[in-house]
Amino acid sequence: MRTRVITAVVALALFLPALVLGGLPLSILVTVMAGISVYELFHMHKLDIKSFEGVLAIIASAMLVFPLPAYFKFLPKDKGQFLLFFLIVMLFLGASVISKNTYSIDEAAFPVIASLYVGVGFSSLLNARKMGLPVLFLALFIVWATDIGAYFVGLKYGRHKLCPEVSPSKTIEGALGGLLSAFIVTMIFVFLFEAKNYFHHTALTVIFLSLLFSAVAQFGDLVESSIKRHFDVKDSGKLLPGHGGVLDRFDSLLFILPLMQLFKLF
C-alpha cells in the first residue's frame, strides 16, 4: 500500500502541472506516455521494441498523438496526423514486398493495432484538454468514480461474476455500483461547472451519457485484462510500482475519451 501511495503522489506531481499548463509540455508528456504504452504491448507480446515494427509502431503512435500540424504549417490541419499515420501503415504493408513475403500482413497487424489503440486514445486526451480542464476532469472523475464504486459495491454485495474468463474478481453488482457512482459524480460535476459552457449539451444529456461512458470505461478495463490474460502477464509494465504500467492506469480513459469526442462533448 505504501508503495502505491508514493507512486501515485510522484505520478500526480509530474502529471498535474503538465495537465494544468497544457500546450507543448502536455503534448510531449502524453506522446511519451503513448510510446511507453506501445512498448508495454510489445513487451507483453515478447516482441523486441528495437525491431523494425517496434520502432515504426512508436513513431506511428507519436504521429497520432503529437499535434504536428500546429508546428508544421505545411501539413493539412484536419487530416495531417492521420495521413502521416497511414504512411507508417504503408511501410508495414510494404515490408511484405521488401522481405519477399517473409514478413506477412498478419505480423503487421499487431503493431498497427497497438499504435492505433494508444494513439487515438491519447490524442483524444490532448483534444479534451484544449477545450478546457473541466472537460478532461469530467472524464477522469467518471473513471475514478466507476473504479471506486465498482470496487466497494462489488466487495460488499458482489455475488454474480461479470466476466470470470477475463477478470474473475469483477461482479455484475460491482459494475452496477460503478455506473451509479459515475452517474452521481457527473450530476454534481456538471451543475458545478455549468455543462452548457463546456460540453455542448444540456446538463441532463451529459449526466445520462455518463452511464454510457462508465460502461465503456469498464469495458476498456476488461479489454486490457483480456490482453494481459492472453499474454499471461499480471501487469502491462513495471514503470509505476504498485500500479503496474501506463496501460494499467489509462486503459479506461483510452476507451472513453474517443467516445466523448464522438458524442461532441469536446
- Give the three cell numbers for residue 84: 502521416
In the prediction, which pLDDT does 198 show?
A: 67
For range 2-23, the mean pLDDT:
80
* Per-residue model confidence as pLDDT tens digits over 74-84: 888 878 899 99
In the prediction, which pLDDT does 77 show?
A: 80
Mean pLDDT of the chain: 91
Cβ proximity of 166 and 189 under 8 Å: no
Place of cell 485484462: 225
Partners of 240 in the β-ladder:
244
Place of cell 460502461: 215
For range 225-253, the mean pLDDT:
91
* Per-residue model confidence as pLDDT tens digits over 144-178: 999 999 999 999 999 999 999 999 999 999 999 99
- Give the three cell numbers for residue 100: 519477399
Domain boundaries, the chain: 1-130, 132-266
In the prediction, which pLDDT does 202 show?
A: 84
pLDDT at 93 over 70: yes
pLDDT at 196 over 80: no
Confidence (pTM): 0.91
Place of cell 470470470: 164
% of the chain beyond a pLDDT of 90? 67
| Whole-Å CA distances, 167 to 99, 120, 171, 215, 245 | 40, 25, 9, 15, 18
